[in-house]
């Protein structure tokens, strides 16, 4: 089985080299790595250009204008060739070694899609606002779709490549997460969760999602549940 790892990047000059190294360090796994820069302005692009020489097996793509995570993933997904696809944020909040745990769940749990749950795993340094915001959005997802998730907003969503490549992603920013969750649940794919490791970072360290994105996510859930 081949895994496509898509890394959306925006202003991550301090961590992008490390995360590519950590992804490549996951052993005994057939994988491709696709990096898409979303118009970074902090020197990240120069670092990526240098990394192209160091990692010729990694695919790098560049956007001239910053639009958002959803738009960046749409581009990244279109270049994947793997049986399964997963998103890896360019910071160091998630541990790529958890890929194997998600992949095992495909057979052990007889799942089509596997989410990595921060709330059933090891969680560190998540702010109070982020904690309750994620919990609220997950509860609303469960009520709307009749499911029992613990972490809808997780970055780690292991999804069939054929399904991802056929999607028409409409949400340009962080509202990508509720949109793809809604489409997975409406498609009938069997979704399971496994615990993962998570270590949050502060806004002073580069974290970008805010409470405003929470309201956008809430509207996106209702929109794709009832109107799309």
Tell me the per-residue pLDDT of 130-185, one tens digit each, with 9 for 90 and over: 899 999 999 999 999 999 999 999 999 999 999 999 999 999 887 899 999 999 99
If one counts the domains in the chain, the total is 1
DSSP 92: S
User: Residue 204 belongs to a domain with what CATH number?
Assistant: 3.90.550.10
CA distance 61 to 110: 34
Q: How confident is the model at residue 77 (pLDDT cuts 50, 70, 90)?
A: very high
pLDDT at 204 over 80: no
CA distances in angstroms from 66 to 10, 63, 71, 93, 208, listed in the order given: 8, 7, 9, 22, 13
For residues 16-44, one letter each, b for 16 or more C-beta atoms within 10 angstroms of the residue's C-beta and e for the rest, the string is: bbebbebbeebeeeebbbbbbbbbbeeeb
At residue 62, the pLDDT reads 98
Determine the structural domain holding residue 157 and report its residue range: 2-227
In this predicted structure, the answer to whether residue 208 has a pLDDT above a threshold of 70 is no
pLDDT tens profile 23-44: 999 999 999 999 999 999 999 9
> Coil, strand, or helix at residue 117?
strand
Question: For residue 16, what are the contacts with CB-CB under 8 A and spacing of at least 6?
Answer: 7, 9, 35, 44, 47, 48, 51, 90
Instruction: Determine the Cα–Cα distance for residues 151 and 130; give it in Å rounded to an integer.
Output: 12
CA angle 120, 124, 125 (to 5 degrees): 135
pLDDT confidence tier of residue 203, bands split at 50, 70 and 90: low
Is pTM beyond 0.85 here? Answer: yes
């Amino acid at each position: 089985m081949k895994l496509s790892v898509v890394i959306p990047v925006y202003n991550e000059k301090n961590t992008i080299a490390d995360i590519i190294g950590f992804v490549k360090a996951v052993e005994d796994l057939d994988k491709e790595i696709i990096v898409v820069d979303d118009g970074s302005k902090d020197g990240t692009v120069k670092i990526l250009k240098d990394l192209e020489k160091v990692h010729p097996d990694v695919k790098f793509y560049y956007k001239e204008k910053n639009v958002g995570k959803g738009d960046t993933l749409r581009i990244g997904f279109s270049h994947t060739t793997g049986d399964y696809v997963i998103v890896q944020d360019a910071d160091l909040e998630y541990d790529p070694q958890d890929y194997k745990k998600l992949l095992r769940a495909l057979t052990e749990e007889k799942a089509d899609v596997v989410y990595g749950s921060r709330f059933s795993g090891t969680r560190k340094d998540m702010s109070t606002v982020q904690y309750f915001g994620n919990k609220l959005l997950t509860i609303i997802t469960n009520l709307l779709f009749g499911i029992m998730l613990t972490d809808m907003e997780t970055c780690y969503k292991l999804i069939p490549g054929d399904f991802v490549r056929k999607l028409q992603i409409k949400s340009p920013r962080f509202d990508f997460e509720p949109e793809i969750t809604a489409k997975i649940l409406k498609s009938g794919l069997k979704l399971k969760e496994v615990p993962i490791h998570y270590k949050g970072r502060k806004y002073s360290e580069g974290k970008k999602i805010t409470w405003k994105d929470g309201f956008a996510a809430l509207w996106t859930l209702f929109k794709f549940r009832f109107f799309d």
